[in-house]
Amino acid sequence: MKCITKISVKNTAKLKKCIAVAGIILFVFTGLTCLIMPQFNADIFLYVCAAICTLSTVFVWYEAFLKKRGTVYFEALVLSAVTVFLWLHRQSGEIVIVTVFALYLLVNSIAFAIQSVLDIKDRSDTWWYDLLRFVVYSLLFFATFSHGMDSLKYIQYIVGLYLIVQAAQLYFEMTSFTHPQSSRYYTFRYWSSLPVAFVAILPFFVLEMASHTNGKMDPVLVEGKDEKNEANLRVFVHTGLSGVHMFGHMTLAYKGMIYSYGNYDTANEKLFRSIGPGILFVCPIEQYIANTCTYEHVTMFEYGLKLNEEQIRLLENTLEEIMAGTIEWEAPYEKALKKDPAIPFSQYETDYASRLWYRTRCRFYKFRSGQWKTYWILGTNCSLFAADILNQVDPAIHGSKGIVTPGEFYEYFEEAYADPKSNVVFKSWHSLSEPDTLPAAGSHQ
């Protein structure tokens, strides 16, 4: 792709440092205010929520008139109603905010409860961790439900602690980029991203902004980090502008092959497609990029990692162990063709696994047992699968658990690429809107 080297890399770094310092001061000040004067800060918090809702409403109405879609008009109407409610009924608004927080804790409790059951059923070694998280979130939910409904003070204490932790993390990210296995290890090993609700669709926001401004996403090159040939492990974060693509997908590529984990067996999906057999597919990287961008209309953010010999050995051993725990699985169209070679592809075009196999001839594998046997959208999903492999290869890349999204790793790799001494040496993107970013024509079916 075409990349533009900026002369003002040092000025950009200085600006980022100033923003980080300002963020640290803001987080510390706001966090301490929440802890010392919770009721005062709760009142401000309510007005801030109302103001944010107002800005969001204006933006969504603008989107509605721009895109002229019924769903966007509906979103705008709902946001307008919530905004009016918060401005006119401040005390009731307090109850709404606490209720939303309680529901957030409840959703986490349910997610970890389901994951614990799946772990035990699949004989996963991580069952105890998910069960512990279930207990913690359940206790927080009951504490909020029983004591937090009368006042926002309780919530402010939690918000205050969270902001202090974010300030500490910003400080370590700003000062600890010295060596991947020293202080940087502790920075990211227990790294906490921004709230999941925002980070989940962070790549979508980047793509949305670029599309509205007709801007290109050519990355600013960090000195010494434009050497694509040195990257021997590639990570892809997918995103799109509508539907499920907004929440993205995450894949890894090694030696020219993509390794992607997901819920591809649609015939055996349950609970509104959130649970299903864990399926891994292996596909030539050029065909996969071309198919994903051209036919699935998805944008892919790529990050290249430079692994040392020991890390390469760990990666290859990990991939061998993963493949040893699987059996081959056939896409519905592939299976149907064996019974009737004349059956048209159009009958199976709505099935993603069939589309992918038809256009790339990828191979699918189903897990026989263990942590990845069952896919769960709020637990053992594509991001957690990729994160687990990355963490085994490089402990500096945090091993996430629980509700993990591709957006979380988009945030991580953006930060790591900006670190001059991290092993993320390459950054690129692939999109149908920029044909130069796609593989050469004829590389896919």
Mean pLDDT of the chain: 76
Q: Is position 443 within any domain?
A: no
Range with the poorest average pLDDT among 5-9, 22-26, 58-62, 433-437: 5-9
Q: Is position 112 within any domain?
A: yes
Range with the poorest average pLDDT among 119-128, 207-216, 270-279, 316-325: 207-216
For residue 61, pLDDT beyond 80: yes
pLDDT top residue among 127 and 321: 321
Q: Do 350 and 410 have their domain in common? A: yes
Q: Which of 49-53, 147-151, 423-427 has the highest mean pLDDT?
A: 423-427
What is the tens place of the pLDDT at every residue in 397-408? 766 655 667 777
Domain count, the chain: 2
Q: Which of 150, 185, 220 is the last residue of a domain?
A: 185
Q: What is the mean pLDDT of residues 209-214?
A: 52
Its domain, for residue 144, covers 9-185
pLDDT top residue among 74 and 372: 372
Q: Is position 3 within any domain?
A: no
So what's the pLDDT on residue 194? 45
User: Dihedral of CA 36/39/40/42: which sign?
Assistant: positive
Which of 11, 387, 411 lies closest to 200, judged by CA? 411
pLDDT top residue among 242 and 190: 242
So what's the pLDDT on residue 217? 58
The Cα–Cα gap between 108 and 302 comes to: 30
Q: Do 173 and 216 have their domain in common? A: no
Q: Do 128 and 64 have their domain in common? A: yes
Q: Do 65 and 206 have their domain in common? A: no
Q: Do 401 and 361 have their domain in common? A: yes
At residue 438, the 3 state secondary structure works out as coil
Q: Do 301 and 375 have their domain in common? A: yes
Q: Do 368 and 257 have their domain in common? A: yes
41, two tokens: 């800060």
What is the tens place of the pLDDT at every residue in 8-35? 444 545 665 676 677 778 778 877 887 8
Q: Is position 4 within any domain?
A: no
Range with the poorest average pLDDT among 12-21, 42-51, 133-142, 318-327: 12-21
So what's the pLDDT on residue 226? 59
Q: Do 49 and 13 have their domain in common? A: yes
Q: Which of 185, 208, 236 is the last residue of a domain?
A: 185
The Cα–Cα gap between 114 and 127 comes to: 11
So what's the pLDDT on residue 385? 92
* CA–CA distances in Å: residue 240 to residues 21, 107, 201, 344: 32, 25, 10, 28
Q: Do 138 and 199 have their domain in common? A: no
Q: Is position 2 within any domain?
A: no
So what's the pLDDT on residue 114? 82
Q: Which of 185, 219, 251 is the last residue of a domain?
A: 185
Q: Do 95 and 207 have their domain in common? A: no
Range with the poorest average pLDDT among 148-162, 329-343, 359-373: 148-162
Q: Do 218 and 164 have their domain in common? A: no
What is the tens place of the pLDDT at every residue in 273-318? 788 999 999 999 999 999 999 999 888 989 999 999 999 999 999 9
Q: Is position 251 within any domain?
A: yes
Q: Do 259 and 399 have their domain in common? A: yes
Containing 257, the helix (H) or strand (E) segment is strand 257-262
Q: Is position 55 within any domain?
A: yes
Q: Is position 444 within any domain?
A: no
